[in-house]
A and B are shown apart, each in its own frame.
Chain A
Amino acid sequence: MSASLHPEAEYAAFLAEGRLMLQRVASTGEYVFFPRVAQPGSGRSDLEWVEASGEGTVYSYTVTRTKPPAADYVIALVDLVEGVRMMSRVVDCDPAEVRIGMAVRAQPGEVDGAPAILFAPAAEARR
């Protein structure tokens, strides 16, 4: 599937379907995230959408403190096995248990009503 037309809109549409999609350079197999009209640096535009494995590790994170009744939440940078990094939230665990290097798995969810790909500890992830 060509990703050359509307990367931002197409990614949003995938999100709405609960899918984590990455761009891949057809000629080299390298992955690109965030979605763009061309690979950063090289300018290669033979990009195609592929489904992400959903497997990753926490590169860094922070517990965002909130005032009750709102709950604290974990913002994280997740390194996907495809070699790209994305911001997300780590859910389905106590914020105090999140660690750098922790294995996580993508799952569809939402943030304040908007569709989003979230991550949960790999052992507890729902498929």
Chain B
Amino acid sequence: MSGFPRGRTAIVGVAVTGIDSKPGFSAIELLAKAALMAIADAGLTPDDIDGVFSTLPEDPFSAMSVPEYLGIRPRVVDSTRTGGSAFQVQAMWAALALEAGLCDAALICYGSNQRSGAGALVRSGGIPFPYEALYKPRNPTTSYAMATQRHMHQYGTTREHLAEVAVAARKWAQLNPDAFARDALSIEDVLGARMISDPLTVRDCCLVTDGAAAVVMTRADRARNLPGKPVYLLGAASATWHRNISTLDDLTLTAASEAGPRAFAQAGVTPAEIDVVEIYDAFTINTILFLEDLGFCPKGEGGRFVTEGAIAPGGRLAVNTNGGGLSCVHPGMYGLFTMVEAATQLRGLAGDRQVSDAKLALSHGNGGVLSSQAVTIWGTDETL
């Protein structure tokens, strides 16, 4: 008995905006635009929102500043800071708060102007860890590069396998008019790109873009009376094993291997049943690691699993169908975009990149340096 209210809450509105990274907007302005679009998509008005789950990278007090900006006086607020997985964690809490009647309409929202904001790195990393910071790692890249190196050493994963991930993401992005990077990209392009931190080239690393996303959730009974097709939350779980990469026991095994099975158990489904997989791909190794840890292939087989276009359009598994953090959008934290894309696919509104007959979708969030792992599983009404 997981206690999770399977299928009792649903996404009723979604939005993304700002991916084109045109300068001039602050982070909270981008967030507000996405939030208002999602609220309108749900057929609601800001007055209807009484639960606000917000994240602004540089604002530790977004739980107050976002309601203030939108003119909402929420009954429930939250600004979980687990990095890019915060949104999946928030979906879990939102479901429980909705189920308990603590709130009736929950807004989960994020915004960042990381690219256009004078090129300044968004400082969302928290307090430097003295036992690592001393050595000047360039995190997060340093940590992911060492995980990649270790995966290659233990399992024979190759740079070509990593490049397959980048190319698959780009091919999906080419089907998504909102995606930031849509020009052609080949395996050779990735292998020949500028090395950043061995073995990762600049094409193994996510984009730096602006972007904002939002979703609105209500209880399922209300969702059925709203204009859009509800996307039901079937399971949501998170796990946290570390913050800094030097304290993770095995750099090839993440807490997603714990969160995933819990979320699947709540949902009562298996990885083989999932139609659409939205993984937090900050680096090419992420997709490989998380396909393994979430049970889509055996541990160590992720590199071989993605070869020959297996996760590209037309492949055996639809992974990161918006183009992912690698080719669609990565504004500091990408997690909420995996949820929007999962919902968009299940609503059948994904246009050229629509996965036919999609009924079950997984939206994964990754925070820190493989640190916080959170998994949500969503379904259409046929899965209830």
Contact = CB atoms under 8 A, between A and B. Distances in A.
A111 B136 contact: yes
Given A62-B197, A64-B138, A12 B246 contact: no
A80 to B, nearest CB: 12
A64 B134 contact: no
A53 B151 CA distance: 28
A49 to B, nearest CB: 15
A4 interface: no
B147 interface: yes
A87 B149 contact: no
A101 to B, nearest CB: 8
Contacts of A114: 134
Contact of B153 (A85, A89, A100): A100
B126 to A, nearest CB: 16
A76 B129 CA distance: 16
A87 B132 contact: yes
A119 to B, nearest CB: 11
Contacts of A37: none
Given A85-B246, A86-B246, A60 B150 contact: yes
Given A8-B130, A87-B132, A64 B149 contact: no
Given A60-B251, A64-B138, A75-B137, A86 B131 contact: yes
Interface in B280-335: none
A12 B130 CA distance: 9
A19 to B, nearest CB: 15
B136 A112 contact: yes
B142 interface: yes
A75 B135 contact: yes
Given A77-B245, A87-B246, A62 B135 contact: no
20 contacts: A33-B131, A34-B247, A60-B150, A62-B142, A62-B145, A62-B149, A62-B197, A62-B199, A63-B197, A65-B196, A73-B136, A77-B146, A77-B246, A85-B246, A85-B247, A86-B131, A87-B135, A87-B137, A100-B153, A111-B136
